A and B are shown apart, each in its own frame.
Chain A
Amino acid sequence: MKSFVQKNKSVWIQILPAALFTIFLTGYSMVMLVKESMASDGNRFKYYSELFRTQTFWDSFYMTLIVALLSTTLALLIGLIITRTFYRLFPSDHWKLIIWLPMLLPHFVAGYILFLLLSQGGFLSSISYQIGWIQEMGQFPVFVQDPFYIGVILSYLWKEIPFVVLMLLPIYQQMNEKYEETARTLGAKKWEVFKTVELPWIWPVLLETGIIIFVFVLSAYEIPGLLGVTYPKLLPVLAYEWFFTGTWENRPLAQAFMVLITVSTVIITFFLIWSAQRLKSRLMKGVDG
């Protein structure tokens, strides 16, 4: 019994620094964030109601949501297709390193690469001119620093698709091929094989990857800070600017803002995990019955 207690103690000592740091920093900064986002007198939620009355906020809110949803869904979809093709075509996986290269670069460099390739004065525009598709620079479509954030979404895709492949490839490699063969011999079509064999196997990782990307895009400044337009700004850019503008009068507004974003990401995360768990138990029941 004594040795058990001692062992337990040593386990906790090993975990404590990491756990304390993470839990304390998260908890403390959240408490302070909420506290500083409240007005000290009168209407405590003054800054929140001010936020909701601002059109700038709503415009950038919708735009951010669209950008985050599109980036996440497309990254997952394309990443999944690449992973499946890769897994089927290449038995050995040393080629995977070339897919992972973009992960070594910061997001803002990815943004700049997109700028060099896709802006109106960029490389693809030059090629389009040479092969006669366009006669002048202005005829090339505006992909970068455009009001629809196409350049931002493409930059995110270039960075996040390799991340999706990184997360999914090991899962595919651990998958038992026998199930797939069985499903095929039973006459299942491609889509059915994917739905019944692959999807139950990969969805926890797919979901986790999706949440990571979504939360990241929702609150990352780097790429929209570089390639964004002046209106509507994405939420992280707006919040960062309010936090930092000369006098500190807009700080509580930025903080109220971040409280809202954090609360939404936490709710969304919990909801997704919860619904995934329900889906899992349903699938399990299906297997048993």
Chain B
Amino acid sequence: MSRVITGLFQEVFGRPYSPTNQDDRVMIQKNTYLLEKLGLELGDFWFLWDTFGPYSLELRNAVSDEVTKENEPIQYSDFAKEQINSIKCIIQLGQSIAQNPRDWLEVVCSLHYLKNYIIAEGDVISELERRKPHFSNRSVTSKALDIVNTIDTMGCYNDSCYES
């Protein structure tokens, strides 16, 4: 399955996964987390809150030595393709407001985790700001929260969500 996970990384970010690159290590965690929340079965990963938001030790172990092999392309199911497209749309929206994919995915995943697993009542964005003061731009975090709400309600995020 780790081969599929690094393959999904390449599919979304357009380049192979490198376990020695810290940005890649963060992004593979966020990419896998979101794809699981969108319904892909990628393994029994237990995500807990950590420095950069939801993080799975099991996932870290699974991909610690894994490098995407470009000569072994994986054919994805239609459902997987739709959800890969959801992540691409999310990244695209981030880029449209000058957010780099790593930070943007961290904001989206952190808000999703806080909303669904941490915050019982109250403002999720304020909680994010409390835990991660560097994410204090409300126009950015409120857009990220819209994405989280769409994922929770619709189970996907596509171009039409982006346009709306």
The yes or no verdict on A and B being binding partners is: no
> B residues engaging A (CB < 8 A)?
none
> A residues engaging B (CB < 8 A)?
none
